[in-house]
Copies of this chain bind each other. A is one copy, B any other.
């Protein structure tokens, strides 16, 4: 059938159809026209038109039929994940890590450089530049091929990508990180709190897949937290969401000291970074003083986690960060504490990702940002 449609309506309809098609290809992978029409509930002619538009724009490509199949197989359409690249950065106190990935978020190359909390701002930014260069060069990526870059760092980061306050990294508060990276990269640059990106990574690739609402707790010598609601990291009105660690009743910043207190036999002569592991090991062996120290630490974690849980009611709490390696020792007592406080205790689990979780989260966030621009080009 035919109907009269004006140009504006036609553009609207064609864009709507193109978005439907590209979303289907990204979600379900390459498929032939017929299947794509069924999947999108669009007419064959409509899908063909949409595919033509998308091929023209570089988002979709036709695949040569694979010889293997019986008969003459239909040629399939696929999303062009290689059409562009994204850059994810983890700028921490002890390391700087960069990841280049395709538009599906598959990491193609990693580059890293160890740093110390004592570096000056200029030294740290110079190290960031070196790692970015190494990662782009190492992956054969030209600056213009990077469609979006996301950097995760430690602290309260405002919506302009400025480090407002960072306790863990010296000389870092006030750093206009997004501006610095934008001067180097000719693409949209976003800067996010590292716990928030780690939480996103757990949601997309780790322990929290298929979970809509979760609280992520970074536990280590430094503590942090993040909230994901309906699959989206919660930034809050100014980027300060998840900063429960500064609350005086929890004081997560110094909570790891509780592990040290009262266990001299275990910790004497150890370097600060070795203390926690030693106490967790001793507690694992049932050494009474260490078990008590761990319980003291868990009580503080539980009070902070309960405050966040009672505020947003997540399905899941993910424990990440260095101390999550001791999840076997921490999880039971933490669950018991939460059950005494919460109206509904969320499921607890340990991180499923390694020390690359922030960089992986940054890559996921960059891909999300590109998708949001694709689906709302006005942004």
Chain A positions within 8 Å of B, measured between CB atoms, are: 1-10, 12-13, 16-17, 41-43, 45-46, 156, 164-165, 212-213, 227, 229, 234-244, 246-249, 303, 306-308, 310-315, 341-344, 346
| Bound-complex Cα distance A248 to B13 (A) | 55
Residue of B8, B42, B312, B343 near A227 (CB, 8 A) is B312
Q: How many copies does the complex hold?
A: 2
Shortest distance in angstroms between A310's beta carbon and chain B's nearest beta carbon? Answer: 5
- Asked if A315 and B237 sit within 8 Å, CB to CB, the answer is yes
| Bound-complex Cα distance A303 to B248 (A) | 9
- Asked if A241 and B8 sit within 8 Å, CB to CB, the answer is no
- Asked if B1 and A2 sit within 8 Å, CB to CB, the answer is no
Q: Nearest CB to that of A17 among chain B residues?
A: B9
| Contact flag A311-B6 (CB < 8 Å), given A13-B13, A341-B247 | no
- Asked if B46 and A9 sit within 8 Å, CB to CB, the answer is yes
- Asked if A235 and B310 sit within 8 Å, CB to CB, the answer is no
- Asked if B41 and A240 sit within 8 Å, CB to CB, the answer is no
- Asked if A6 and B244 sit within 8 Å, CB to CB, the answer is no
7 contacts between A and B (CB under 8 A): A6-B45, A8-B41, A227-B311, A236-B313, A240-B313, A241-B311, A243-B310
- Asked if A3 and B1 sit within 8 Å, CB to CB, the answer is no
Shortest distance in angstroms between A337's beta carbon and chain B's nearest beta carbon? Answer: 11
| Bound-complex Cα distance A63 to B42 (A) | 38
- Asked if A5 and B6 sit within 8 Å, CB to CB, the answer is no
- Asked if A164 and B343 sit within 8 Å, CB to CB, the answer is yes
